[in-house]
Amino acid sequence: MIDPSLTLRDITEVGYATLPGALPAPLLEALRQEADQLIEAFTVHGERSSDFWSYDDPKRGNPVLYRIHNLERQSAQRIASLYETGILHELAQAIIGPSRPTAYAMVTKVPGAAGVPWHRDRATVENSAIINLSIYLDKSTEENGCLEVVPGSHRLPGYVDVEATRAQGPVVAVPAEPGDIVVHDVRLVHGSGDNENGPVRRSIIAEFAADPLLRPSEGASR
Ligand code: NI
């Protein structure tokens, strides 16, 4: 069972929390199948919309897909539906209260693909006001470039140098199993390594922002 108050405590104190097995198995399977289809649209069927982000790798000859942006607008119904309703909304509501999704994407890291440079998703926002929820579709380990974080770095000021923060450490690897959801404060300093030659590692990432306008009015019942 997921205890939202413990999750919020971890996010407040260290900037992140793992929710093991948060996704029901049938939903995980459905999302994995749709993720396969979205990726095949690019790799097999030549999809080249501006939402499909890729880079050229001279060793491969073909562009390497690494991110699908505006995921709620793609032709994957079950994945798109989570932007409107369901588990991500329920978790965000339980952790930070009334909130709404503000970004939705899928990250895919094929064998041999490069890591994600160290960064903060956002630097100057309130405490525990905006969180990132990442659904892991595949096993994520240090071998295939799992998330790495500097615990507590979400509390640093907005102008901090992320590379210096990383160098100072400590850097903690955050491995995940398929069906886990990892939540982090968007100010957390984080990145990920290369996929050395492990299996593909895909995650669906959603950003949720607390929305003060959605909070019940204190005087509403009077
Ligand atoms: Ni990020």
Residue 124 — pLDDT band, cuts 50, 70, 90?
confident
Min mean pLDDT across 81-90, 134-143, 204-213 is at 204-213
Residue 213 — pLDDT band, cuts 50, 70, 90?
low
Determine the distance separating the centroid of ligand 1 and the alpha carbon of 27, expressed in angstroms. Answer: 24
Min mean pLDDT across 23-27, 35-39, 98-102, 208-212 is at 208-212
Q: What are the φ/ψ torsions at residue 135 (nearest 5 degrees)?
A: -90, 125
Single-letter amino acid code for the residue at 1: M
Instruction: Please write the tens of the pLDDT for every residue from 170-199.
Output: 999 999 999 999 999 999 999 999 888 889
Query: pTM higher than 0.85, yes or no?
Result: yes
71 closest CA partner among 38, 100, 40, 44: 38
Taking CA 31 as the corner, what is the angle to CA 49 and CA 214, rounded to the nearest 5 degrees? 85
Residue 222 predicted with pLDDT over 50: no
Determine the distance separating the centroid of ligand 1 and the alpha carbon of 132, expressed in angstroms. Answer: 8
The b-or-e profile of 55-84 (16+ CB within 10 A means b, else e) is: eeeeeeeeebbbbbeebbebebeebbebbe
Determine the distance separating the centroid of ligand 1 and the alpha carbon of 59, expressed in angstroms. Answer: 27
Give the other-Cβ count within 10 Å of 51's Cβ.
14
Residue 8 predicted with pLDDT over 90: no
Residue 218 — pLDDT band, cuts 50, 70, 90?
low
**Mean pLDDT across the stretch 46-53?**
92
Single-letter amino acid code for the residue at 27: L
Residue 220 predicted with pLDDT over 60: no
Determine the distance separating the centroid of ligand 1 and the alpha carbon of 78, expressed in angstroms. Answer: 23
Residue 214 predicted with pLDDT over 80: no
Residues near ion ligand 1 (Cβ under 5 Å)? 121
**Mean pLDDT across the stretch 28-48?**
94
